Amino acid sequence: MVSVFRAWLAAAARTLQGLGTYALAALLALGLAPAAQAQTPTAPIDTVRLTLPEAEQRFVQNNLELLAQRYNISAQQALAIQARLIDNPTLFVDQNALQQTIHRQDAVGTNADLGKTQVAVQVQQLFSLAGRRRAAGRAQEQAAVVESFNLEDLVRNLRYQLRTTFYDIYFRQQTLRVYDTEIPQLRHTVDLYQGQYEKGNIALKEVIRLKAFLFTLETERVGLVTDQANSQADLHILLRDSASTVYKPVVDTRRLRDLSPAAYPEAQLTDSALVRRADLLARRAEVQHQNLNLRLQRAIATPDLALGYSYDRFGSYFDNYNSLTVGIAVPIFNRNQGNIQAARAQISVAQAQLAQRQLTVRREVHEAYQVALRQDELYQNTNRDTTPFSTLIDNIEKSYTKRLISIVEYLDFYEAYKNNVLQLNALRANRMRAFENLNLTTGRVFYRAE
């Protein structure tokens, strides 16, 4: 059967040299259709309805990147506790190991057997001066604050990825519906006209054009299905879901239509971003952290004080020697000058990065707001009426069957309807992405359709 079909295609190609290389390529692709149809169909996959609030809740609870960042904050907090701990005391014990009995001459000159061994004990405690432990604890606590803002910034960016992926899947599903409607209808038409051609009622070129256009639709659909599978994979990763299910986003279309950038003035959005953007707060916290680090380095310049107690049974000029010890490093050469200078430089670096981030935040909000205004204006001024395909195709089919329209006009209708719906869904998706970009740049979800 396959060989007969391919022979028919070869004969058709020889008679249609005027159709060009595109039609010939379509013929070759269509020649493989019987083999493709013989493949075993895949098993159906479970579809799960999912709202955006449900997705966000599962995202916050399950996302592994957020979990890892929370552990990082806990580690920084533990380091702050460690920085405040007092140094442990040091104990030295010196015990005579070889000669267990001490022999010493008395005043007369005879050897006196003391019957005891030599032992020496020393205990020493190190004390930090100039509030070094307190300064170290505060600096490490501020490092934990920086990490907490980094967590918020990670949440902000991942939430943007989650919400945009959610809406991309939704609008791509709307686009796939067009192909799922047009392709079966066009296959039916191809089968009918194939039969008419075999009866000699129509020309072969019309069948070829119909099959070429059907192949184009099927190829475009495969590309959309691939993009949809990638988006589904991203959504599963964000939600930490290893199940082989397909999510079907549930969206309130009325609330989508009612969204408007003008609901909030640009100045309000900019002020919110300057106050709430986690990356900006992290920069401010880093400036404070570097200031605390400078205090710590200055405290380190003051040497530690070592206090101790010493006992020696027979090793001193008299028995049972007791003493107190005091030790401190004399800051002549090393006064921690390099670390202090580096800490000052790090403050300047952090302040410059903060100023740069503030400029960036203002610009990002402005650009995002302007893009949202343009996308919404285009959406509001576009005719969003999409009459169901099944309602239109009946009249077009009848007109084509009665030869009231040509095959070119017939295929133009398919193409025009498809492009209209595709462009409208792309416009809707770009509009929602613009709103989500505004939420991202402001650091707060101002625009919600759920």
Are 23 and 56 members of one domain?
no
Beta carbons of 429 and 422 less than 8 angstroms apart: no
Are 32 and 148 members of one domain?
no
Spell 40-76 as b/e; 16+ CB within 10 A means b: eeeeeeeeeebebeebbebbeeebeebeebeeebeeb
Are 151 and 286 members of one domain?
yes
Are 222 and 356 members of one domain?
yes
Q: Which amino acid is it at 271?
A: D
Residue 318 falls within a domain, yes or no? no
Are 27 and 56 members of one domain?
no
Domain count for the chain, please give it: 2
Q: What is the mean pLDDT of each run of 10 residues along the chain (450 residues)?
A: 40 40 37 38 70 92 87 90 91 80 54 69 92 93 94 93 95 92 86 84 85 92 95 93 90 91 94 94 96 95 93 84 92 93 96 96 96 93 67 72 77 83 91 95 90
What per-residue confidence (pLDDT) applies to 266?
A: 95
What per-residue confidence (pLDDT) applies to 317?
A: 78
pLDDT in tens, 377-428: 999 888 766 666 556 666 777 777 777 777 788 788 878 888 888 899 999 9
**Range of the structural domain that residue 24 is part of:** 1-38
Residue 331 falls within a domain, yes or no? no
Are 28 and 137 members of one domain?
no
What are φ and ψ of residue 74, in 5° steps? -60, -40
The reported pTM is: 0.79
The CATH number given to whatever domain includes residue 190 is 1.20.1600.10
Mind giving me the DSSP string for 157-169?
HHHHHHHHHHHHH
Are 401 and 377 members of one domain?
yes
Are 32 and 178 members of one domain?
no
What per-residue confidence (pLDDT) applies to 391?
A: 67
pLDDT in tens, 323-373: 999 999 898 999 999 999 999 999 999 999 999 999 999 999 999 999 999
Residue 96 falls within a domain, yes or no? no
Are 139 and 34 members of one domain?
no
What per-residue confidence (pLDDT) applies to 386?
A: 62
What per-residue confidence (pLDDT) applies to 29?
A: 38
Residue 255 falls within a domain, yes or no? yes
Are 152 and 274 members of one domain?
yes
What per-residue confidence (pLDDT) applies to 26?
A: 38
Are 348 and 213 members of one domain?
yes
pLDDT in tens, 275-294: 999 999 999 999 999 999 99
